[in-house]
Amino acid sequence: MRVVEKRQLMSATEIERTLQRLAHEVVEKSGGTQNLALIGVRRRGVPLAHRIAKAMQTIDGTEVPVGTLDITLYRDDLSKVAAHPVVHSSEIPFGVDDKDLIVVDDVLYTGRTIRAAMNGLFDLGRPSRVRLLVLIDRGHRELPIEASFVGRHVQTGDMEIVEVRLTDVDREERVMLVERVE
Amino acid sequence: MLRIKNGRVIDPASGTDAQLDVWLQGDRIAKVGPANSAPEPEPKAANGSPSEESFDASGMIVAPGFIDLHCHLREPGGEPSETIETGTRAAARGGFTAVCPMPNTRPVNDNASVTRSIVERAAAAGSTRVWPIGAASQGSRGEGLAEIAAMQKAGIVAVSDDGRPIATAKLLRQVMDYCRALDLPVIDHCEDSSLFAGSVMREGRQSVRLGLRGMPAATESIAVGRDVQIAELTGCQLHIAHLSATASLELVRAAKKRGLRVSCEVTPHHFTLSDVDVVYDTRFKMNPPLASTEDRAALVAGLADGTVDAIATDHAPHEAASKDVEFDRAPFGVTGFETALGLALELVHAGQLSLRRMIELFTTGPARVLGCERRIAAGEPGDLTIFSTEHSWTFRAQESASKSRNTPFDGRAFRGAPMATVVAGRMIYRREA
Amino acid sequence: MPERLRHLLGIEGLTAEQILFVLDEAKPFQEFQRHPLKKLATLRGKTVALAFFEASTRTRISFATAASRLGADSMNLQAESSSLKKGESLLDTVRTLDAMKPDCIVMRHSSSGAADFVARNLDIPVVNAGDGTHEHPSQGLLDALTIRDRRGTIENLKITIVGDILHSRVARSNIHLLGKFGCQFTLCGPSMWVPKELECLGPPVHRVDRIEEALDGADATIVLRVQQERLHEPSLPLDEYIQLYQLTPERLRGARPDMLVLHPGPMIRGLEIDPAVADGPQSCVLEQVTNGLAVRMALLFQLIGSKPESEDAKGTAHAAD
């Protein structure tokens, strides 16, 4: 599949500011950070979750635990992803029961990834609440799923793809709008 | 009259190797000579058609008719895998003019009436000559002697319990004593049953790797040693079937040195393949199994130096359903009529065997075992094998005249092929262009 | 990314990368065994045919559980009730199963090469759960995972195998696998069961007659059971075997204190292994079983978790994130 870059949606600075703003929003709307835990959805949800936890620590002083969740086994579309799906470990170093969870991911699109994430979480226990935090919401939902915390809403076409690039993973930091070319 | 012209006649018995024509009349060879020395033509046939047919053998070798000392035609009883008709047709395509089918049919060829029925079916098929080998023991069960003298009258040329070894030293002695008096050779499938039990290939690195049960070379050579000593004791003529191991070859060599009447044959698959070629493919499963690479080299040397007397195919057809199973369960055996010459010529092209020696292994060698002659001379039986040493072709099992497809050589490209086969003065096979 | 497995017929034909991939993929499945809810929907709607033509309890249950925890269904064929007894050929039996459209077939058979034979005749992936005396690849993988978890590595280790190696498909799979990682092998057992051709399998192998010598310096010892059902020849009297080859606490004291003891199971306590050793701290037998489940889940996931050729990911460039 070839892609062609169309335009930059967010610069590194804008990403940082947005994450800070999101961290404040979470603290405000959660009435503090006790019982909160972040679950980063592999791959890029993980560094985002860590950064938000760090920002929240600066704001509130408390350390919010971060877990990582690999959703490969819970996808409903395994046959559509790369021919050779790879399962990675999930690491959730705390009990999920009765926790106030925030699932963190880079892009919210059809909603299927988040559904898979919820299936995975509920296999581990019974959280008291699950909310969603994403950097970009690009619309085109196929399931009744909404994010409580959104960095930016972006209108996109079917052939377009929102690529969040983070230094932790991609060696550069920005959000790009690219287009699929047949 | 049939005239084979412009061919290179190689006749080991007389030492001839020259460009000569051969004329056949009736079922005999009428004359061998230069092109301009045609014998008196026959009177023209009543309808005025010329009674001389000719075959242009330019660029080809004209040899005495090949004999296959060891094959399985399956009839009576095993017709789904082969009949005398289909088997002899495949043999003719392989250049053979006479074949010796082993007695392990159903019923076993252990009495004159089965022998006669085989001989009659062969005559009706009208292809190669069929010289049956009779069972040594009743039903080849290894107990009492079969009706050997009666079978000899009906046409057998040797006895064997092939499929199995002749069961005990004591029985072998009785058979040999009896056959010496009748002047019949005894052919043995040499195998020690206890070492063989349950094996499916040669024991060695490949069998360990594949997890398949293997038999050591001694399985064969122990029995060869036994047979040679009994042959010496009784004075009977012994022929070792499908010899595959170096140790067996050395025993034959030593016996010949001592002047004993011991001979042996090697199959084309044994001088071409070895146990490293075996994979989970039942087309590579036969008994004796493919041997080690060292054995193979020793067999090739034995073919060249005269220790081995004959190349015999051990053509063993099996219908697809019986071979299409797990390796352990498949019956032993591969076909071989149509690939024998091509494989032998590979040795000639590689310089390991001379052309003349190769011809001996198919003609005078087997003839000597049977106590007859094979030569191209006036008055001799009109059997010729005409072949090319250069013609390129690919063997395809699907196109074989045999009913069965169990060959390890499917798809193999050959340089050299049988071009025409003449039996009793009649051309029974001719390769299409 | 190593080439994806289509079948699992043996270890011999796998690359080191493919092996490591399976071992790494088994890790999330090892964690999964600790979840309160051990049920995924990953392979929902898929069917795994279990064709066990040779009796087996542990391996069959392990594969059945692996399938079930991944959400797949299984079809169960067992030797005792097998149509093979009525004369049906192996090919017809598997074709009958295949006509019911399973997504893969896991098979165990007493003939070496049987899995290979079936793979050539069917279109669906075939997992060899043991063919004659040839290979038992998932056992090799779970043994390697066990050693790696305990030892930290599977590279350049000294591995000892004790018992009837000639007839052991487990031994062959272990030698093929660990041999690809630079391990060296010491084989020990009655000489008719430790033929010299084993030295030609590839990796460095040397044979010793005395178990004390074999255990000396080994990083891990794999104890095989005496397979009375696989012998054509008269078997060794069991008391002789015990006297010469049983792994006892005394013999263990002569080995390194951190030497691992593995056994493919089922164990016959008091025959090839002393109960104290079987239950002792060096014994890995229970981990082997747990790891077997994880490895088999990873294998089934790889083989039937997605279509072999899939269209490009819909919508996201980071498709496998």
Dump strand ranges (E) for B82-184.
Answer: 96-101, 129-130, 133-135, 158-160
Q: Would you say the ipTM is above 0.85? A: no
CB A162 within 8 A of CB A107: yes
**How is domain B65-370 classified at the CATH fold level?**
TIM Barrel (3.20.20)
> What pLDDT, on the 0 to 100 scale, is given for residue B39?
75
Instruction: Tell me whether domains B2-61+380-430 and B65-370 share a fold.
Output: no
For A80, which of C25, C314, C317 is closest by C-beta distance? C314
d(CA C93, CA C104): 15
Which residues in chain B have their CB less than 8 angstroms from residue C89's CB? 321, 324-325
Task: Find residue B3's DSSP bridge partners.
Answer: B23, B54
d(CA B290, CA B299): 12
Other Cβ atoms within 10 Å of A158 Cβ, number: 9
> Is residue A24 domain-resident?
yes
Site of tokens 């060698």? B365
H-assigned helices in B205-274: 205-210, 218-234, 246-257, 268-272
- The answer to whether A77 contacts chain C (CB < 8 Å) is yes
Where do the domains of chain C lie, and which CATH numbers do they carry? 16-136+288-304 (3.40.50.1370), 137-283 (3.40.50.1370)
* Three-state SS at B36: coil
To the nearest whole Å, the CA of A15 is away from the closest chain C CA by 19
H-assigned helices in chain C: 16-32, 58-69, 90-98, 114-121, 137-151, 169-179, 211-215, 238-245, 249-253, 275-278, 285-304
Cβ–Cβ gap C134/B324 under 8 Å: no
Count of CB pairs separated by less than 8 Å, A with C: 90
State the CATH number of the domain containing residue A59: 3.40.50.2020
d(CA B431, CA B426): 15
Cβ–Cβ gap B205/C166 under 8 Å: no
CB B419 within 8 A of CB B431: yes
- Residue-range domain boundaries for chain B: 2-61+380-430, 65-370
DSSP state letters, B78-102: -TTT--HHHHHHHHHHTTEEEEEE-
Give the predicted TM-score (pTM) of the model: 0.86
Dump strand ranges (E) for B261-326.
Answer: 262-266, 310-311
d(CA B376, CA C309): 66
Cβ–Cβ gap C135/B324 under 8 Å: no
Query: How many helices (H) and strands (E) are present in chain A, helices listed first?
Result: 4, 8
pLDDT beneath 50: ranges in chain A: none
Site of tokens 């001592």? B258
pLDDT beneath 70: ranges in chain B: 40-51, 433
Q: Are strands C73-78 and C158-162 parallel, antiparallel or unpaired?
A: unpaired
φ/ψ (deg, to 5) at B301 = -65, -40
CB B229 within 8 A of CB B190: no
CB C263 within 8 A of CB C273: yes
CB B262 within 8 A of CB B233: no
d(CA A18, CA B24): 105
Selected catalytic residue, list C46, C47, C59, C176: C59
> What pLDDT, on the 0 to 100 scale, is given for residue C88?
77
- Considering only the C-alpha atoms of chain A, give the largest distance between any 2 of them, rounded to a whole number of Å: 50
CA distances (Å), origin C297, targets A72, C31, C300? 14, 12, 5
Sheet containing strand C73-78, edge to edge, reads C73-78, C47-52, C104-109, C126-131
To the nearest whole Å, the CA of C305 is away from the closest chain A CA by 7
Cβ–Cβ gap C41/A89 under 8 Å: no
Q: Find, among B106, B133, B138, the residue nearest to B187 by Cα.
A: B133
d(CA B89, CA B211): 39
> Is residue A63 domain-resident?
yes
Residue of C nearest to A158 (CA): C315
Q: Which residues contact B155 (CB under 8 A, 6 or more apart)?
A: B115, B116, B119, B131, B132
Task: Find residue A130's DSSP bridge partners.
Answer: A101
- B2-61+380-430 maps to which CATH number? 2.30.40.10
> What pLDDT, on the 0 to 100 scale, is given for residue A88?
92
d(CA B59, CA C56): 65
Which residues in chain B have their CB less than 8 angstroms from residue C207's CB? none
Q: Verify whether residue B314 is a known catalytic residue.
A: yes
Other Cβ atoms within 10 Å of A140 Cβ, number: 14
Domain that holds residue A69: 12-157
Buried b (16+ CB within 10 A) or exposed e, B204-217: bbbbbbbbbbbbbb
**Separation of first and last alpha carbons in chain C:** 15
CB A105 within 8 A of CB A134: yes
φ/ψ (deg, to 5) at B256 = -65, -40
Selected catalytic residue, list B161, B188, B227, B314: B314
Q: Verify whether residue C307 is a known catalytic residue.
A: no
d(CA B155, CA B136): 15
- The answer to whether C317 contacts chain A (CB < 8 Å) is yes
> Is residue A5 domain-resident?
no
Which residues in chain A have their CB less than 8 angstroms from residue C41's CB? 74, 119
> What pLDDT, on the 0 to 100 scale, is given for residue B297?
98
- The answer to whether A159 contacts chain C (CB < 8 Å) is no
Which residues in chain A have their CB less than 8 angstroms from residue C314's CB? 77, 80
Residue from A42, A72, A141, A161 whose CB has the most chain C CBs within 10 Å, to mutate: A72
* Three-state SS at B353: coil
Cβ–Cβ gap C112/B328 under 8 Å: yes
d(CA C148, CA C23): 9
Q: Are strands A36-41 and A2-10 parallel, antiparallel or unpaired?
A: unpaired
d(CA B288, CA B294): 16
Q: Verify whether residue C232 is a known catalytic residue.
A: no
CB B169 within 8 A of CB B232: no
pLDDT beneath 50: ranges in chain C: 231-232, 309-321
To the nearest whole Å, the CA of B202 is away from the closest chain C CA by 12
B126: left (phi over 0), alpha (psi -120 to 50) or beta: left
